[in-house]
Amino acid sequence: MTLLAIDDLQTHFFTRSGILKAVDGVSLSIEPGEVLAVVGESGCGKSVTAFSVLGLVPNPPGRIVGGSIRFEGRELVGLPARDMRALRGDRIGMIFQEPMTSLNPALTVGDQIGEVLVRHRGFTRRQALTRAEELLDLVRVPDPRRRVTEYPHRLSGGMRQRVMIAMAIACEPKLLIADEPTTALDVTVQAQVLDLLASIRARFGMAILLITHDLGVVAETADRVAVMYAGRKVEEAATARLFADPQHPYTRGLLGAIPEVADDDPAMGRDRPRLSEIPGMVPALDAMPPGCRFAPRCPEAMPVCRTAPPALRPAGGGVAACYARQDDRPSLEEVA
């Protein structure tokens, strides 16, 4: 059975300036034990998609207005708040983007990890603190017996992120949602966190929904990749295939912006090719262009791209929403 199935999800924000379609018809699926990466620039709707799964979209002004989210066959859209709280932190874990603002500065690390176990597993406080120490050891926090009594401000950024991971996996969830888990960490700590996530996945067999803008992270961890742009999915494929043969111009632009160091140039003295860039910016939610939302920035845009939004169709072994790249692209008469 598919672990998580998102079908035509529409999450909108109702504001004075109008209806902002942050997530506009997105479909995703995750199998047990799989890592699905959702990538794209800031403002593409990645985090709102994750918050929609967890029932954390602030209402008002936001709410899910259409589509379906099924977890282990159970519909989450419209689920009572009490039932969603029982699910969140238990069957579905979440690593939030910024641990310093996600952790409570007034509670010790042990109390914050233990709270999850008290709520969802009925542990006593003593049992929860003992398990919190074990979890800190599992996520490779040095001297866990001491750290369990400390407050978040006493920890480095990398250790705070490990505490967030310990909280997220305390109940051994079936699905772990990781929202930019390596943001603001230096390269060495990033590698350690990615290695930690891989070992946790192997140990517990949990699936991971990885939200990121870092394609280097994706290459190391993901089985499949979904690319989002301006609230819509524009491409999806197996990771190796997407990196080898990206179909959507936006995906190619993202890959072209990854820095590379020439292996055959140990002194790195020669000029390396300039990184490519995607001109322009992601459109504002209240100023979406007609047709393909990437068309104003796309070097391959055709007249039809500016009038009719392309549907996701088979392309290069995956799917892509691009008239120029689809294996069975429709004729202009069909589009019209």
In sequence order, what DSSP letters do the residues of 126-173 get, joined into one string? HHHHHHHHHHHHHTT-SSHHHHTTS-GGGS-HHHHHHHHHHHHHTT--
Q: Residue 80, Cα to own-chain centre: how many angstroms?
A: 24
Contact in structure between 298 and 249 (CB atoms under 8 Å): yes
- pLDDT surpassing 60 at residue 267: no
pLDDT at site 120:
96
**Encoded amino acid at 184, one letter:** A
Mean pLDDT calculated for residue range 216-234: 94
pLDDT at site 87:
95
pLDDT at site 11:
98
Contact in structure between 4 and 53 (CB atoms under 8 Å): yes
- pLDDT surpassing 80 at residue 266: no
With bands split at pLDDT 50, 70 and 90, how would you rate the model's confidence at 271? low
With bands split at pLDDT 50, 70 and 90, how would you rate the model's confidence at 228? very high
pTM exceeds 0.95:
no
- pLDDT surpassing 80 at residue 275: no
